[in-house]
Amino acid sequence: MRRAAFITVVLLVAFASKGDSQTFGTKKRSPKPDEYGTVVMSNHAANVDSDPVVFPHWLHRAKYTCRLCHVDLGFAMTANETGVTEKDNLNGLYCGACHNGAIAFGPEETVTDGEAVQYCDRCHSKGNDVDLKYEFYDFVKDFPRARFGNRVDWMKAEDQGLIQLEDFIEGISIKRAQLMIPEDRTITPRVEGMPNIIFSHEKHTVWNGCELCHPQIFGIRKRAQIYDMQEIFEGKFCGACHGQVAFPNTDCRLCHTDDVY
Amino acid sequence: MRDSNRFSLVLLVLSLWMVLPGHSRAQRDFFDLPPLPPPEAFGDLRIDRVSGENDVKPVYFSHWTHRSAYTCRVCHFELGFEMQTNLTEITESANRKGEFCGACHDGETAFGHTEENCAKCHAGSPADRRKSFRQFRKSLKLPEAPFGNRIDWVEALESGLIQPRNGILDPDFEPIPFNEEFEVPAAWTLIPPADFSHDIHLQWLECSNCHPDIFKIKKRATEHFLMKHILEGKFCGTCHMTVAFPLDDCQRCHPDMRR
Amino acid sequence: MRRLVGVACFVIAVALGSLCAPVHADEWTHLLKLIREIQSRSESPPLERALDPSASLPWGAIKDRFDRICGKVPAAPDLADEQLRALIADCDFLSKVLEQSENPQAKVFLKRIKMCRDFFVYSLELREAPAG
């Protein structure tokens, strides 16, 4: 009898102290404008005694469409999923398609006095203080402002001609048929009272094409497959881009534009 | 009585005592709420992230002097201040560049970051603002509240007695029209549920101040949402411990709770 | 006698036939031209599937075929079902060729052809899925 009571008390105490994880209920640190969209790639780096790669999306998205890297060059949509190796780069795949010394800096360059300068550290820069060619705040100082993410309205910047995005690499990209753009559609949120979302295919296909989203992110919607905002915040569906690189999901007003009364 | 029976009786009384609520003073003792500072000092924070190591006195920041002029979202979203003390990477150079405090403390909107003004913030000890606080409260005839600053800030805003600006980098900002109200059931039996109104919070805050980090966006998906964690400064306690009306004011959230 | 009658009927029949359907030489050539044009307009060249996937194609030829197949992706929602199925079959064929290829670029093109194939399948399934 006493033993049973003792066990009960122990269990009660154990149960009461459950949930001691400190990561819930507090606001996470928001990334700074120049940090937003930065992806750390550390697939093989540890194996080859090299620092992980720190990839800044902001600089690349100011020059190229999403489709060019994520469809034509075959980059995956999640960090470390592509499996880029040094050999691939030297063969002109992935990063090496541009980082070959011709379009952008390559792995090494022979300077005037015949010496070969290695540029490994410019990418394999995790934990190191590297002098980069472009400084974020200088680069974006005249760009139209946004409230979240990089704090830059990239779409407006393109409309105003401040950035011109390349969509074609010779020998890799293909000439495509004319894009058939479906109409805008209204998505009703699951929570009553939240304004409706107006989804524009046009705005997305201009940067992504079709095969980037369909069907790997948005497949056939079977009858029951209705996604919710929690999944989006966790990186699924819209959250595959919005929250990682494109304007984050916390900018509710940019999607939930159609007020309901 | 036999030993084992007595033991079980003691155990039963103990578990009943843990489950049944006491009156508010007992609750407060049980919850171990920190003692409240005087109204003019409620919301004051000591910021000492790098001041000490740079031989500078720490900053004593007063919330009430700022919240009558700006809503929470201006500083805690637009200017990038974190919701926890000493987490924001404020430095003198950042301030001089116009970031953080320097966004307003530039000599035009508010006193600037100059030599003679250092001591106004880097005071080393809390400033005595009793007089200015009483004057402020009296001149605006602000409605009273039982705890905290003893000011009902929500009522003050709704009746137009204060007009805090809702955006400085984004002057045309309009909060999203979302009026959802719901009941949050208490974990303990016999505690009445809390009433939560989005509308009141959206007058001061942004969606992103709370979602999705502090509260998950899906109903009933927020885990460990318990009073004991709120008292540790999580969830509602992020604000309702030190700046917004404190948790001593049970009835503000749990309207059916008896005093 | 009967043979004579038979031959006479045949001659009359041919004469009548040529009167009713006056297909002259130049009209035959016109008809033939039309048939060839319709064949060439057909979107899916049958040549791909006639080849053995294990036969090693030069990289340039692989790239040309890839361009032709994946170039149809943006227009896929408007293509007919048979055309989509033909494209899917072409993707499968080219995937097998790419698997055999020793060119270092093949692994990226393999991924890309899979994305194209998935999109064609998606376009087809979208028509069959219930509206929603």
pLDDT of residue C112: 95
**Is the peptide bond prior to B164 cis by the omega test (within 30 degrees of 0)?**
no
User: A127 to chain B, minimum CA–CA distance in Å?
Assistant: 19
A243 interaction partners in chain B (CB closer than 8 Å): none
Stronger pLDDT, A129 or C94, i.e. the higher one: C94
- Using an 8 Å CB-CB cutoff, list chain C residues near A221: 129, 132
Helical residues (DSSP H) of chain B, grouped into ranges: 3-19, 24-31, 64-67, 72-73, 92-96, 118-121, 130-140, 153-158, 198-202, 207-210, 227-230, 250-253
Test B229 with A24 for CB contact under 8 angstroms. Answer: yes
Chain B CA closest to residue A32? B80
Convert the pLDDT of each residue in B60-113 to its tens digit: 999 999 999 999 999 998 888 998 888 898 999 889 888 899 999 999 999 998
> For the whole model, what pTM was predicted?
0.77
Identify the pLDDT of residue A110.
Answer: 80
What is the average per-residue pLDDT within B112-128? 88
Q: Which of A13-17, A56-60, B198-202, C81-85 has the lowest mean pLDDT?
A: A13-17
Q: Do B218 and A148 touch (CB under 8 A)?
A: no
**Cβ pair B212:A192 closer than 8 A:** no
Q: What is the DSSP secondary-structure string of C66-105?
A: HHHHHTTGGGGGGS-HHHHHHHHHHHHHHHHHHHH---TT
Instruction: Note the pLDDT of residue B24.
Output: 46
Q: How far apart are CA B67 and CA B164, in angstroms?
A: 7
Chain C positions in Cβ-Cβ contact with residue A88 (cut-off 8 Å): 104
Contacts of A174 in chain C (CB under 8 A): 66-67, 70-71
Tokens matching residue B146: 């039982």
Share of chain A above pLDDT 90, in %: 37
The pLDDT of residue A23: 72
Residue C84: its pLDDT value, please? 95
| Domains present along chain A, CATH in parentheses | 38-138 (3.90.10.10), 176-261 (3.90.10.10)
- Note if the bond before B212 is cis, omega within 30 degrees: yes
> How many whole angstroms separate alpha carbon A100 and alpha carbon A92?
7
Q: Domain segments of chain C: what residues?
A: 2-40, 44-128
Q: What letter does residue A94 receive in the DSSP assignment? A: G
**Interhelix angle B3-19/A2-16, nearest 10 degrees:** 20
Q: Which of A193, A228, A253 sits opposite B179 (nearest CB)?
A: A193
**Percent of chain A clearing pLDDT 70 (strictly above):** 89
> Which among A74, A79, A107 is positioned nearest to A93, based on CA atoms?
A74
Cβ contact C–B (≥3 pairs, < 8 Å): no
Please give the single-letter amino acid code of residue A209: G
Res. B183: pLDDT tops 80: yes
Look at residue B21 in the predicted model and tell me its pLDDT. Answer: 47
Mean pLDDT value of segment B193-199 = 92
Chains that touch B (3 or more CB pairs under 8 A): A
A247 CA: distance to closest CA in chain B (Å): 13
Closest partner residue to A211 (CB to CB) among C77, C119, C132 is C119
Give yes or no for residue B27 having a pLDDT over 70: no
Which residues in chain A are closer than 8 Å to C66, comparing Cβ atoms? 174
Q: Which two tokens stand for residue A235?
A: 């990186």
Q: Which residue has the higher pLDDT, A226 or A238?
A: A238
Residue B149 has pLDDT above 70, yes or no: yes
pLDDT at C106: 92
pLDDT for B195: 93
| Per-residue model confidence (pLDDT) at position A21 | 47
Domains and CATH numbers, chain B: 39-130 (3.90.10.10), 141-253 (3.90.10.10)
Q: Are residues B180 and A1, on separate chains, in Cβ contact within 8 Å?
A: no
Contacts of C76 in chain A (CB under 8 A): 210
Least confident range of B12-16, B29-33, B142-146: B29-33
Question: Tokens 């079977």 sit at which residue?
Answer: A222
User: How many A-B residue pairs are in contact by the CB < 8 A criterion?
Assistant: 94
Nearest to B207 among A8, A9, A250 (CB): A250
pLDDT at C131 over 60: no
Mean residue pLDDT of chain B comes to 87
Of the listed ranges A72-81, A248-257, B1-10, B136-145, the one predicted with least confidence: B1-10
DSSP B85: T
- The model's pLDDT over B207-248, given as tens digits with 9 standing for 90+, comes to 999 998 999 988 888 888 988 899 888 999 999 999 999 998
Angle, CA A39 vertex, CA A34 and CA A45 arms, to 5°: 130
Give the pLDDT band (50/70/90) at residue B133.
very high
Report whether pLDDT(A121) > 70: yes
Whether residue C4 is predicted with pLDDT greater than 70 in this model: the reply is yes
